[in-house]
Structure 1
Amino acid sequence: MKILKHSLQHLMLFTGMLFCFSCTEEKPAEIKTEPVKGQKNPFRFYKDIEVKPGLNFEVISWGKGADSIGGYQILMSDSVRNNYKSTAVERKGIMTDVWNMDLDNDGNPELYIQLLSKKNVSDLNVFEYSGGSFNKIGFPSLSFSQKKGYVGDDKFFIKNGDLFRSFPVRDEADSTKTLTKTYQYKLSGNSFSTSELKPE
């Protein structure tokens, strides 16, 4: 009986000591956190274009140093057919917009990549995706007669499924005035043709 009494006392003493130790409050250790440095986005331009459900084109632009020099990449994702392709291109100019059209109505998507090649001069790079690859289609430069009085500030726009380009030109009769020239572009057999629209 004495052994049981002493064992019970020891057990009670041990339980009391554990209770006391568990109630002592320790100050939690301070955790030092360093502020996360913001990383600069390496892509100067990004756009995701959905042609149809499951078929997307992503266009990203990158480069170090001058904004107008670098490259861009076109990524094609066809999740329906589990098909993924890409192409990389050098660029001279600042990418300002990308859009999808099928100007020649052949069922193959065309990507129109608008670049600001000089301070106020826009240009287009055109790629058609067909037969599992990207095919570059040369976009025509302005001819000598089209450039007469040209001052830049080109605007590309789409109206009723057609592609147009307008820009101001100096009036030959009065150099203080500007007129607006507008050209329509048609695509046939991977070749562009241009016609001037006369003001109404």
Structure 2
Amino acid sequence: MASIGVFCASSQRLDQRWLDLAHELGLEIARRGHELVSGGGCVGMMGAVADGARAGGGRTYGVIPQSLVDLEVADTKSDELVVTDGMASRKTMMIEKSDAFITLPGGLGTLDELFEVWTTGMLGLHRKPLLLLDADNFYGGLLSWLGTLADQEFVRPSALALLMVSRGVGESLDLIEASLLGA
């Protein structure tokens, strides 16, 4: 069993297809016997992925800053919910707790988490698999821009190679599991 950290949107105004994608990922994480590590929220895609994991009989581990608990968005159904003093310590704890990471569609917070894990991996601070689930070409523009950065030598190809990209839930977990076995 691996602990899989999932980064995703917590917005409550999302199209249903994104909530369904998150729920499907949570179900598949549980079906394959893994633990979900989430940002500890109960709203948006973050809530949907946790609900999916629980619906599949999986274990959920949430990490949430006190400021979000105060807004009443904590996933109180989580098997274990850790409250931190801020967003930075939340990211640190999620990185420490997770064996691998999947990034779903999201906004600035999601991108912040993706780049933090990617950068720390590039620097050799961990060797944990990192995957971007690019459903419906959500991250197409970002991936194109990253390719441009490599072409202009702002980013090493070896750094780009640390980020796996998939289009669907099953493929995402297949790649994560293969990477964990090869690690």
Shorter-chain TM-score tier: under 0.3
Query: Whose radius of gyration is greater, 1 or 2?
Result: 1
Structure with the larger RCO, 1 or 2 (CA within 8 Å, 6+ apart) = 2
Greater share of residues in helix: 2
User: Normalising to structure 1: TM-score of the pair?
Assistant: 0.25
User: Normalising to structure 2: TM-score of the pair?
Assistant: 0.26
Greater share of residues in strand: 1
